[in-house]
Homo-oligomer: A and B are copies of this chain.
Amino acid sequence: RFMGLHFFNPAPVMKLVEVIRGAETDPGLVAQAKSLMEGWGKIAVIATDVPGFIVNRVARPFYGEGWRALEEGAASAATLDYLYRELAGFRMGPFELGDLIGHDVNFAAAKSIHEAYFGRTRFAPSLAQGQLVAAGRLGRKSGRGVYSYTDEEKPAPELIAPQGAVRDLSLLKAVMAKGEANFEGARLFYADGRSASRAAADARMPAVVIDYLRDPDAATAIAYAASDEKADAAALAFVSQSGKSAVRLKDRAGLVVFRTLAQLVNCASDAVRDRVASPEAIDLAMMNGVNYPFGPLAWANGESFVRIASALDAIADETGDAAYRPGEWLRAAARKAL
């Protein structure tokens, strides 16, 4: 008999409402509520009554992966926020978004989901965010979070400006299309879950891995990790000839933005497996509840489920962390796509 309606903040702006059906809820009532919400101009998705419903469950890796990249020193917070925006089209990166939401609220949500799912490691909260909260740096509302809001200057992303005025995107597009290309004694790879070090060992030559790029024409930067100095020089020359700025990442499996997206797909897939909602409803929810630039499952389908599942396996192999292993729905989707 229970049925819930979950709105998103700020409610007048955010179009999403999650219509929550319990084990007993009358399906007719659910359909009626959905219609009513749509009549109000809302985008209504039906979700099972599980902790976090769709959005607050599926979104966990957006924060978790961001914080983990920061803890490991992949790049500065401002650089990471910049990359989530610039490479993937998120409106905000996880740190500026956390500063807006309030880290106390965001961290409490992470802890609560993690506990509700009995410690499922996919949902592990971030140590560093917990320390931020303990230090009272709650975000904009306390004048200080990841960034300071008392003085004017916000730290800038660490960009390496291009040399010269060339702007040739052909090699970039070739790498993105074929997955790899040789350039100046190094092999360039488009993000596939491996670290540059792993890719170099496989290729038996210096290797560069390039992070995900949603729009190679519009993006003003390319992020990469290099296996050694020779590869780094090749990477900088490659980025420069594309006329874009370079962001040098600490080498790690799957880099940053691609790894986050892949793990978001994994969590979205688990939600389908657990019958939280349909793939379409999940995508709609993420786009309209938290402004994602695309639905994770439609994105994975476009990139190919095979590629995403295999990248997650590569991340799990390299990190030794089983939380990255593709779940059963994703593995089956990859098989179906073959």
Interface set of A (CB-CB < 8 Å, partner B): 2, 22-23, 49-51, 71-73, 114, 116-119, 121, 124-125, 127-128, 131-132, 135, 195, 197-198, 201, 251-253, 273-275, 316, 318-322, 325-328, 331-332, 335-336, 338
Contact = CB atoms under 8 A, between A and B. Distances in A.
A328 B318 contact: yes
Contacts of A326: 320
Contacts of A71: 274-275
B195 A72 contact: no
A252 B320 CA distance: 21
A116 to B, nearest CB: 7
Contacts of A197: 332, 335-336
A237 to B, nearest CB: 24
A335 B22 CA distance: 47
A318 B269 CA distance: 13
A118 B107 CA distance: 13
Given A71-B275, A319-B328, 19 more contacts: A23-B128, A23-B132, A49-B131, A72-B275, A116-B127, A118-B124, A119-B119, A119-B121, A119-B124, A195-B332, A197-B332, A201-B335, A201-B338, A319-B327, A320-B327, A320-B328, A321-B325, A322-B322, A322-B325
Contacts of A335: 197-198, 201
Nearest to A335: B201
A231 B253 CA distance: 39
- The A interface, classified by DSSP as helix, strand, loop or mixed, is loop
16 contacts: A22-B135, A23-B135, A71-B274, A72-B275, A118-B124, A118-B125, A119-B119, A119-B124, A195-B332, A201-B338, A251-B332, A316-B320, A318-B331, A320-B322, A320-B327, A321-B325
- Total identical chains: 3
Given A71-B274, A71-B275, A327-B320, A127 B332 contact: no
B252 A328 contact: yes
A322 B198 CA distance: 20
Choose among A2, A121, A331, A338 the residue with the greatest number of B CB atoms under 10 Å from its CB. Answer: A331
B320 A325 contact: yes
A131 B320 contact: no
Nearest to A68: B274
A79 to B, nearest CB: 16
A168 B215 CA distance: 61
Contacts of A119: 118-119, 121, 124
Contacts of A328: 195, 252-253, 318-320
A325 B132 CA distance: 30
Contacts of A201: 335, 338
Contacts of A127: 50-51, 116-118
Interface pairs A-B: 5 shortest CB-CB: A320-B325, A322-B322, A119-B119, A319-B328, A118-B124
Contacts of A22: 135
B118 A72 contact: no
